Structures are given as C-alpha cells and as structure tokens.
Amino acid sequence: MARKYFGSENPIGKTITVNKKTDYTVTGVLDNIPHNSHLQFSYVRPFILLKEYGVNLDSWGNVSLEFTKLVLIASLIAWPLAYFIMNSWLQNFVSRTSVKLETLVLSAVLALGIALLTVSYQSVRAAVANPVDSLRYE
C-alpha cells in the first residue's frame, strides 16, 4: 500500500487523506509479510479511532463481570440438578444426612473464585507477554 501511494519515496511521516476528511500520518511500514501468516491486512489504524466508528471501548474491561454472570447462571442451573442427584445418592446410606443450601452456595463461590483467578492470570500473562514471541510462531 505504501508503494501505491508514495512510490519509491520513504512514506514515514507522510500524511494520507482518506475520503477527503480524515488525515492519517504514516508511522510505520510492514514489508514482506509471509503469505501463510495470520496477520494479513492492508493497513493498520490506531486503536483509539474505533471510537469514531461507535465501538464502546469502555466495556472491554468488563471481562471479569461477564465471567461472573456466566458462573452465577451456571450455578443456578446446576443447583437443582446437584441437589436431586446428591439427595438420591445419600438416601442409600444407613445414616442419612440432608443436602444443605450452604454447600451449594459454597460451591458457587469456589467456582466463581476459580474462574476469576483463571481469567486474571490469563489477562496478566497476555498483558506482560512480548508480542514478538507470539508472532515468532505465526
């Protein structure tokens, strides 16, 4: 794309006007991207420009909230089934005990804690990773 607009001239620092209203400054050029790479594109725009197209960037940080909702919904679905199965199984013992609500709530809290720890760990791991290491295997 750089050759198309700038020929053999160095495009770094030059400005491109798109649709006669938006100016973009060329800050880098990628050359010779392998055809088998997952990174196939014509150009890259700054992340902040997504706001111009109506993308809500504020909601991207709510991954933990989304996982919390999913774990709670899964717990609400699993509680009746777990209660029925455990109650049926415990009836086969001579000394019977009942299934308590606290046990089910504790299982939901533990599942939520494990989910949040996993998401947090993966998020931190992705944030501190060197992107060059990821691209090396592309």
pLDDT digits (tens, 9 = 90+) for 77-93: 988 898 888 888 888 88
**Residue 108 and residue 82 share a domain:** yes
**Residue 67 and residue 45 share a domain:** no
**Residue 97 and residue 34 share a domain:** no
**Residue 70 and residue 123 share a domain:** yes
**Residue 82 and residue 32 share a domain:** no
Mention every residue, 6+ apart, whose C-beta is less than 8 A from residue 86: 99
**Residue 81 and residue 119 share a domain:** yes
Q: The dihedral of CA 10, 14, 20, 23: what is its sign? A: positive
pLDDT at residue number 52:
67
The average pLDDT across 3-32 equals 80
Q: Which two tokens stand for residue 12?
A: 């770094």
What spatial distance separates the first Cα and last Cα of the chain, rounded to whole Å? 22
What is the per-residue pLDDT across 111-130, written as a single tens digit (0 to 9) for each? Answer: 888 888 888 888 788 777 77
Residues spanned by the domain of 16: 2-56
pLDDT of 69 over the 70 cut:
yes
pLDDT at residue number 4:
80
**Residue 67 and residue 130 share a domain:** yes
**Residue 28 and residue 6 share a domain:** yes
What is the per-residue pLDDT across 50-61, written as a single tens digit (0 to 9) for each? Answer: 666 666 666 555
**Residue 89 and residue 28 share a domain:** no
Count of structural domains within the chain: 2
**Residue 72 and residue 17 share a domain:** no
**Residue 124 and residue 77 share a domain:** yes
